[in-house]
Amino acid sequence: MNATLESAPPVTVSESPDASGELSQFIAQVAGFFGCDSLTRVEWTQANHVQLARHAATGGAPAIQETCAVTGVAMLPAADASVAGLFNLGSLALLSDAEIGAALGEIHRVSAGNVWITLMPAPGRDRAWWEQQVFAAGFRPHPEATNPSPAKLSGQSGDPVILVLQKSPAEAQPAAALRLVPAAGPVTILALTADPKHPLFSSWLKDTPYRVEFTAAPHVGFEIPPHIDLVVGVDCYHEPWVTLLRKAVDAGIPTLILADGILEYRNTWEHPQLVPGALFQPVLGHKIACLGRSQARIIESWGNPTQCEVIGAPRFDALAGKKRRERPAAAPFRVLVMTAMTPYFTDEHHRLVRQSLLDLRAAFKRGVTIDGLRVEPVWRLTKGLDREIGVDTHVTDLTGRPMAEVLQNVDAVITTPSTAMLEAMRLGLPVAALDYCNVPAYVQPSWRISAADHIAPTLRELVNPPAPKILFQETTLHDSLECASPAAPRLRELASRMIAAGRVARAAGRPLELAARLVEIGAPGHHFVSAKIYPNHAPFQETDLSALQVEVGHLRRYAAALEQGRPAPRENPASGALTIVWKSKLEAALVLAGLQQKPAALKLMLEGIKAVEASPDPVVTIEALIGICTHLRALDAGRARYLLELAVKLAERLGQGALRDRARTLLVELPASVAA
């Protein structure tokens, strides 16, 4: 393949694609470079007006030429991966920044692998800016292209930005025949809700480029209008919504279900008012937008292998960057005690939920103080449970406020299984599930209260949460809610891809077919930090890479000597496995001393000395005595004096003058009143 390319000829967006001989030469050369027998030109004359033309590499008039209007730029009238070679000569620069992202996304979707783009730079849109946009859209520089020579676009001065691109290898697919979809009017979404302001819809539809219609007066006799490109619904277990969803699917209209919250075992399996199988068994639409990976896995296990898309919750995007409150020093520790909107589904559920709240009320009524910190409840109960257990939800200034605002005024949460668990976790609050029903948890919390005996230890850990349990909560959060990046753009991308597939299928007169995954998400991140999980393990606290590398070198040398039966080298007294042992115990002791746990700290220091008593290297023993006694003297000065005098004698016997002097200096600094 010839990797030396001439640049595009001076053409304008509006000219006839076959009018220029230079254009024909350009097409022939680029088609040869890309290894395809034709190129497809895509140009926007304005944000919602696009022209496509396919040109044979041998020249002549384009084999397919179509100009069509689309609403927004998020959909090109071509099938996925159907364009073997694609080029754009400048018209991308006519679009706004937001429109450019959508346009590049569509170029990526329809391209089978190779793309050429020529653009004129502008203030704020230099080569680096354009490269950032195309790389974010999923392209990379073509690996066989050298830097093309600069060229002029008609009517422009200066050198253009020329981008020769290729899809990532994992994304490139064999090209299918190019299929153009005839113009079919503006793209329209039908939202199956009578409330356009509901956050499940408004949180992402407000920024869609498409027209949105709402069902103001739904009924089972309602017919889906023929111009609808996508039907979006939430309720898949009550009429008339179930009938409307099925009508849309039967008509071949792409149909998207929005998961409105977490899955809850009792609601799924023990809800007497629901028809068996009503909750996603199966999913009644073509796709369901899941909150997270764990929800998708569960719904897939119910016989939905291709319907689940991991999206997140657009209504929670506003929580990004927000953190739990910094509790004022004199303020009590506030625990939000709440119940789900529907806290029970049967009389037995009701009895158990009521009992769990009564047990909590009794615990708080006795008074809860943990390490001198007063703990008080903030009640937010539903379905009259506040009256049933005798608490007044109006005693706090948080009543009636939005959940996100309430959560930013408390320090921990205890709740019956509810989507609010994820909101609280998103803000970094420790969350305990209140579940006397003791059923399987589809969202696994770090803390779970299923009996009265669990209340006191759970409250203690909510005030001082162990690092491993916070790690588990973070893992649960990111498995249950896709929130590493905003969810609204993913949901709009899913809608656009479903719309495009629907128009292609409708134009071809064939059934709608959707890939098992339309929206890709990144690999799950990890939140494991050894230093946080093991704060008392000194090696994990060391962050100086150079120091660690030197220490590893000494340890390897020490180990090699032991394996060969030779005395361990003594050039560096700080080397050796026993050094790590006594230093680790000392570091842990200092942490405990800082927490005013002096007996435990003293015990660890003495364990550190005990560990080196039988050391084959007495220098290590002396170093341990000096290092530990530097801090031991504040806890037990008499014992520190005895051990330092022992260190002086041992150092003199070995001829270690420097170590002897260090031990003597510490002895001099001890109070004179301390007996030897």
User: What are the backbone dihedrals phi and psi of residue 19, each rounded to the nearest 5 degrees, phi first?
Assistant: -85, -15
* Residue 117 near residue 166, CB atoms below 8 Å: no
Q: What is the pLDDT of residue 554?
A: 67
Percent of the chain with pLDDT over 90: 41
Residues 404, 400: Cα–Cα separation, whole Å: 11
Q: What is the pLDDT of residue 168?
A: 66
Residues 448, 431: Cα–Cα separation, whole Å: 9
- What secondary structure letter does DSSP report for 521? -
Give the residue-averaged pLDDT of 121-141: 81
Could you tell me if 425 and 300 lie in one domain? no
Q: For the chain, how big is the Rg over CA atoms in Å?
A: 34
Q: What is the pLDDT of residue 129?
A: 80
Could you tell me if 538 and 417 lie in one domain? no
Residues 589, 598: Cα–Cα separation, whole Å: 8
The residue ranking higher by pLDDT, 3 or 562, is 562
Q: What is the b/e burial string over 174-195, where b = at least 16 CB atoms within 10 angstroms of the residue's CB?
A: ebeebebbeebeebbbbbbbee
**Cα dihedral 145, 151, 153, 156 in deg (nearest 10):** 130
Could you tell me if 493 and 474 lie in one domain? no
- Is 528 inside a domain boundary? no
Could you tell me if 192 and 307 lie in one domain? yes
Residue position matching structure tokens 């560096």: 572
* Residue 278 near residue 287, CB atoms below 8 Å: no
- Termini Cα distance of the chain: 88
pLDDT in tens, 136-191: 778 888 877 664 543 444 444 467 888 898 886 644 443 433 433 444 568 899 99
| Furthest CA-CA distance within the chain | 106
Element (H, E) at 139: strand 139-141
Give the residue-averaged pLDDT of 235-263: 94
pLDDT in tens, 625-676: 999 999 998 888 888 888 998 889 888 887 888 888 889 988 888 876 544 4
* Residue 431 near residue 304, CB atoms below 8 Å: no
- Is 273 inside a domain boundary? yes
Q: What is the pLDDT of residue 69?
A: 46
Residues sharing a CB contact under 8 Å with residue 527, sequence separation 6 or more, in sequence order: 471, 474, 475, 478
Could you tell me if 204 and 148 lie in one domain? no
Could you tell me if 493 and 468 lie in one domain? no
- Is 172 inside a domain boundary? no
Q: What is the pLDDT of residue 56?
A: 86
Distances 126 to 122, 131, 194 between C-alpha atoms, Å: 6, 9, 46
- Is 6 inside a domain boundary? no
- Single-letter code of the amino acid located at 578: L
Q: What is the pLDDT of residue 62?
A: 62
pLDDT in tens, 566-603: 655 554 444 467 888 888 888 888 888 888 888 888 98
CB atoms within 10 A of CB 298: 16
* Residue 177 near residue 293, CB atoms below 8 Å: no
* Residue 295 near residue 312, CB atoms below 8 Å: no
Structural domain count, the chain: 4
- Is 382 inside a domain boundary? yes
- Judging by DSSP bridges, how do beta strands 161-167 and 111-119 pair with one another? antiparallel
Average model confidence (pLDDT) across the chain: 83
* Helix/strand/coil (H/E/C) assignment for every residue in 161-213: EEEEEEECCCCCCCCCCCCECCCCCCCEEEECCCCCCCHHHHHHHCCCCCEEE
Confidence of residue 232 (pLDDT cuts 50, 70, 90): very high
Residues 169, 114: Cα–Cα separation, whole Å: 11
- Is 310 inside a domain boundary? yes
The closest alpha carbon to 62, from 95, 9, 16, belongs to 16
Element (H, E) at 415: strand 412-415
Q: What is the pLDDT of residue 269?
A: 96
Indicate which CATH number applies to the domain containing 566: 1.25.40
3-state helix, strand, coil in the chain (%, to 5): 40, 15, 45
Residues 628, 642: Cα–Cα separation, whole Å: 13
Could you tell me if 255 and 359 lie in one domain? no
* Residue 590 near residue 601, CB atoms below 8 Å: yes
Residues sharing a CB contact under 8 Å with residue 629, sequence separation 6 or more, in sequence order: 640, 643, 644, 647, 663, 666
Could you tell me if 341 and 474 lie in one domain? yes
- Is 175 inside a domain boundary? no
Could you tell me if 90 and 115 lie in one domain? yes
Residues 264, 443: Cα–Cα separation, whole Å: 8
Give the residue-averaged pLDDT of 115-128: 85
- Is 584 inside a domain boundary? yes
Chain centroid offset of residue 292 CA: 9
Could you tell me if 590 and 552 lie in one domain? yes
- What secondary structure letter does DSSP report for 483? -
Measured at the CA of 417, the angle between CA 412 and CA 421, to 5 degrees, comes to 40
Lowest-pLDDT range, 306-320, 409-423, 619-633? 619-633
Residues sharing a CB contact under 8 Å with residue 216, sequence separation 6 or more, in sequence order: 194
Q: Which domain holds residue 202?
A: 188-317+486-508
- What secondary structure letter does DSSP report for 148? P
Indicate which CATH number applies to the domain containing 39: 3.40.50
Could you tell me if 474 and 579 lie in one domain? no
- Of 480, 497, 524, which closes a domain? 480
The residue ranking higher by pLDDT, 446 or 83, is 446
Residues 83, 73: Cα–Cα separation, whole Å: 18
Could you tell me if 313 and 377 lie in one domain? no
- Of 137, 167, 197, which closes a domain? 167
Q: What is the pLDDT of residue 440?
A: 96
Give the residue-averaged pLDDT of 495-500: 88
Task: Output the six-digit token pair for 15.
Answer: 């000219």
Residues 646, 177: Cα–Cα separation, whole Å: 88
- Of 167, 199, 216, which closes a domain? 167
Confidence of residue 299 (pLDDT cuts 50, 70, 90): very high
- Judging by DSSP bridges, how do beta strands 230-233 and 188-191 pair with one another? parallel
pLDDT in tens, 262-291: 999 999 999 999 999 999 999 999 999 999
Element (H, E) at 374: strand 373-380
Indicate which CATH number applies to the domain containing 360: 3.40.50.2000
Beta bridge partners of 310: 290
* Residue 259 near residue 279, CB atoms below 8 Å: no
Percent of the chain with pLDDT over 70: 84
